[in-house]
Structure 1
Amino acid sequence: ELCQAFINADIRLVKVQNSCLISFLKKYAAKSILDESTLRKNYIQPIYHETLKPIRNSIGDGPIWISIHETIDTDGRSIANIIIGKPDDTKSISLFL
């Protein structure tokens, strides 16, 4: 749940190594906190697949178009925004964030 919460809140997983956060979570959650690498190895892929399921269900089979826009945020990190659609879509589609 911690990994899912961090991803949904756009918090980088490296933040789980912050000593203040570790102390807070140990005190109020009364559980040990997994290391960033453990979260990446064991939790990211299932979250990724769960995120893709509704997108794949919405798009289905057939050709698609993809638009990728890359930018740099104020911290100097590269950010990519991806839009996917079907070329024959004339109706409004659902957005997946």
Structure 2
Amino acid sequence: MDSKPCRQAVGSLMVAATVSWLYMIFAVSMVSRFLYNPGLNHWHAVKRIIKYLQGTKDQGSSHKQKGVIIPKIEAEYAAVSTAATEVVWLHDLLSEICFWL
């Protein structure tokens, strides 16, 4: 099978996934692993992703980044909060054993 059409399609899907459909990055990255030697199954997977996108194009902004950004920000905030708590705990522990920073 000629890999050029598959590469072009996957490249277009990567742009779409990173620009507006972030939740699709996993599926696109899975098919992109086989770009240099794609089989018929890989081409069918690419076509399935494209059909899915065609079916959701009317939903537009509900699938765009704004639905992903808030949970991502919340997760990052939680991670920073946990890290800060650990730093305070570690500072207190080191202070108790007389190790000054």
* TM-score, L = length of structure 2: 0.27
Larger strand proportion, structure 1 or 2? 1
Larger helix proportion, structure 1 or 2? 2
Larger radius of gyration between Structure 1 and Structure 2: 2
* TM-score, L = length of structure 1: 0.28
The structure, 1 or 2, with the larger RCO (C-alpha pairs under 8 Å, 6+ apart) is 2
